[in-house]
Chain A
Amino acid sequence: MGSLTAFVFYAVALWLGYTSVGLIPIVIVLSLIGVWGSYYSSDKIVLAMTGAKLIDHDSAPQLFNLVQEITIAAGLPMPKVAIVEDSAPNAFATGRDPEHAVIAFTSGILAVMDRDQLQGVAAHELAHVANRDTLVSAVAATTAGAIALLSDFVLRITMFGGNRRDNNGGNPVALIAALIAAILAPVAALLLKAAISRKREALADATAVSYTRNPTGLRRALETLALDSTVVKQRSNAVAHMWIESPLDNSATSKLFATHPTLASRIATLRALET
C-alpha cells in the first residue's frame, strides 16, 4: 500500500514534467515511510479494511478457547481475535509483532468447520504470527516496489533522457541488454515476491503441525476449503497474501504469480505427515 502511494506520487510528478534524478530518493523514502506505516499499524488498518469485529471469551467461547490453546502450545501471547462477516470460509493473521497480532476468521469458516479443523486453521494463522510473516511480506513488497521504480528510471534514462553525446560511442549490445534487464526486473521482482509468499505459506503449514501435532485437522480444513468455491469479497491484491486460502483466481497462467501453493499440494504435504 505504501509503495502504491509512492507510485502515484511518482506518476503525478512525471506527468507534471519533473524527470529529475532527485525524484528517485524522494519516492523511495516516501515508499519506505508508507510501507513502514502500513506494517506498523497493520492490525488496525486490516481490521478497518475488512470490517472485522473483535470478539472475547464471552461472545464466542469456543473460538476464543481454541485460539488460546494454540498460543499455549506456541508460547505466544494471546492475539486479538476477530470475526469477518463473510459467507466464504477463510481466515487471516496480521500485526507487526506477536504482541500486536490479530487473527480473524470469516463467519463462513466457523459455520462449515468442526473444532479440529478450526484448530488447524488457528495454528496456521498463529504460525504466521510466530514467523513474523507480516514483516517478511512488507520487506518483499518494498523490495519489489523499489526494483520496479529503479528499472522504470533506467528505462527513462536510456530511452528518452539519455546523454546524446554518448550515443555514438555506446555499445549497442550493452544498451539492449540493459533495456531487457530493466524491463524484466520488475517482473522478476513480482515473481520473487510471490515465491516468498508461497514459501511462507508452506512454512506456516509446517509450523502449525508442530504446534498441534495433528496434521489431520489442518489437512481436513484445507480439503473443506478446496471443496468450497466461494471466495471472500475482499478481492483486492493488497490483502490477498494474508488469507489462508488465496482469494484470487488460481488459474494456470497466474500460477507463478500466485501468493499460495495450490491447496492440492498443501494437502498432499500434510497427508505425508500423517502416519
Chain B
Amino acid sequence: MNATFIVIGVLILIVLIGVSQYNSLVRLNVNVNEGFSQIEVQLQRRADLIPNLVESVKGYAAHEKTTLDAVISARAQATSAQGVQEVAAADGSLTNALRGLLAVAEAYPDLKASANFLSLQEELSSTENKVGFARQYYNDNVRKLNASIVAIPGKFFAGMAKVSERDFYVIDDPAKRDVPNVKFD
C-alpha cells in the first residue's frame, strides 16, 4: 500500500519536472527566435536608412566615390544574407563601411551642419546601438538555451521539446581584432 503511494508520488514528481523543463526550454527557444528577428528588424531599418544617408553625403561630397560604393555594395550584400552566420558576416562588413562613411563626413563642415544629416546620423547611430543590443540579447539567450540543453535534466527533454543548440551571432569586426603594434626599440 505504502509502496504504491511512493511510486505514484515519484511518478508525479518526474512528470512535474518534465513539464517545467519542457516549458523553460520552449520559452528559451522562443526568446532566441525573438532575439534573432529583432536583429533582422534593426538590420532592415539600417538598410532602409542608408540610401538617404548616401544621397545626403553625395550632395556635399560626390567625389568620395570609393567610400560611397563600399557602403552601397555592403548594403546589397546585407539585404540578401540568410541564416545566422551569413547575416552576421554581412552585418560586420556593413558596420565597417558605415564607420568609414561617417569618418569621411567629418571632413565636410557644411554636411555635418545640415539638419538632415544630423537627424540621419542620430537615427543611424541609434540603429547601430539597437543592432548591438539585439545581438547581446540574442547571444545571452543562445547561451542560456545551449547551457540548459547540454546540462541534466534539460538534456533528456530537449528532444521532446524539439529544441537544439543554436549558433552564436558573431560579427567579424576588424577594428576590434586588430592588435595594436607594440615595438620595443
* A interface residue numbers (CB < 8 A to B): 61-62, 65-66, 68-70, 72-75, 211, 213
Query: Given contacts A75-B31, A75-B34, are A69 and B137 in contact (CB under 8 A)?
Result: no
Is there a chain A Cβ closer than 8 Å to B93's Cβ?
Answer: no
B129 within 8 A of A: yes
Taking each of B31, B35, B130, B133, which has the highest tally of chain A beta carbons within 10 Å of its own beta carbon? Answer: B133
Q: Are A213 and B136 in contact (CB under 8 A)?
A: yes
Q: Which residue in chain B gives the minimum CB-CB distance to A62?
A: B122
CA distance A28 to B42 in the complex (A): 50
State A143–B134 Cα separation when bound (angstroms): 39
| B residues whose Cβ falls under 8 Å from a Cβ of A | 31, 34-35, 38, 42, 119, 122-123, 126, 129-130, 133-134, 136-137
Taking the nearest CB of chain A, how far is it from the CB of B20, in angstroms? 21
Contact indicator B122/A61 (Cβ below 8 Å): yes
User: In the complex, which residues of chain A have a beta carbon less than 8 angstroms from the beta carbon of B126?
Assistant: 62, 65-66, 68-69
Tell which of A66, A68, A73 has the most Cβ of chain B within 10 Å.
A73
Q: Are A73 and B31 in contact (CB under 8 A)?
A: no
Q: Nearest residue in B to A212 (C-beta to C-beta)?
A: B133
Contacts of B134 in A (CB 8 A): 72
Residue of B nearest to A73 (CB): B133
Tell me the bound Cα distance from A70 to B42 in angstroms: 13
Q: Is the CB of A72 within 8 A of B119?
A: no
The answer to whether B133 and A65 touch across the interface, beta carbons within 8 angstroms, is no
List the A side residues contacting B31 at CB < 8 Å.
Answer: 75
Give me the 4 closest cross-chain CB pairs, A-B, nearest first.
A73-B133, A65-B126, A72-B133, A69-B129
B122 vs chain A, min Cβ distance (A)? 6
- Other A-B contacts than A65-B129, A73-B137, A211-B133, 10 sampled, CB-CB below 8 A, are A61-B123, A62-B126, A66-B126, A68-B126, A69-B129, A69-B130, A69-B133, A70-B133, A72-B38, A72-B137
Chain B residues near A68 (CB, 8 Å)? 126, 130
Q: With contacts A61-B119, A65-B122, A66-B126 known, is A72 near B42, CB below 8 A?
A: yes
**Closest residue of chain B to A211, judged by CB?**
B133
Contact: A72 with B130, CB < 8 Å?
A: yes
- A215 CB to closest chain B CB (Å) equals 15
CA gap between A70 and B136 in the complex, in Å = 11
A to B CB contacts below 8 Å, 13 in the list: A61-B119, A61-B122, A61-B123, A62-B122, A65-B129, A66-B129, A68-B126, A69-B133, A72-B38, A72-B134, A73-B133, A73-B137, A74-B137
* Residues of B contacting A62 in the complex (Cβ-Cβ under 8 angstroms): 122, 126
Closest to A57 in B: B123
Whether B136 contacts A75 by the Cβ 8 Å rule is: no
Closest B-chain residue to A68, C-beta based? Answer: B130
The residue on B at minimum CB distance from A72 is B133
List B contacts of A69 (CB < 8 A): 126, 129-130, 133
Tell me the nearest residue of chain A to B134, going by C-beta: A72
Q: Which chain A positions have C-beta within 8 A of B42?
A: 72
Residues of chain A lying within 8 A (CB to CB) of residue B119 = 61
A38 to B: closest C-beta gap in Å = 32
B128 to nearest A CB, angstroms?
A: 10
Docked complex Cα distance between A68 and B31 (Å): 18
Contacts of B122 in A (CB 8 A): 61-62, 65
Please give the distance in Å from B48's CB to the nearest CB on chain A.
15
A211 contact set on B, CB distance < 8 A: 133
In Å, the complex CA distance between A75 and B37 comes to: 12
A75 touching B129, Cβ below 8 Å: no
A61: chain B residues within 8 A (beta carbon): 119, 122-123
> Shortest CB–CB separation between residue B40 and chain A, in angstroms?
12
Report how far A213 CA is from B137 CA in the complex, Å: 12
Complex-state Cα separation, A72 to B123, whole angstroms: 15
CA distance A62 to B123 in the complex (A): 8
Bound complex: CA A69 to CA B136 (Å): 11
Q: A70 CA to B133 CA in the complex, in Å? A: 7
Q: Which residues of A contact B136 (CB under 8 A)?
A: 73, 213
Residues of B within 8 A of A75 (CB): 31, 34-35, 137
- With A72-B38, A72-B42, A75-B35 in contact, is A65–B137 under 8 Å at CB? no
Residues of A within 8 A of B38 (CB): 72
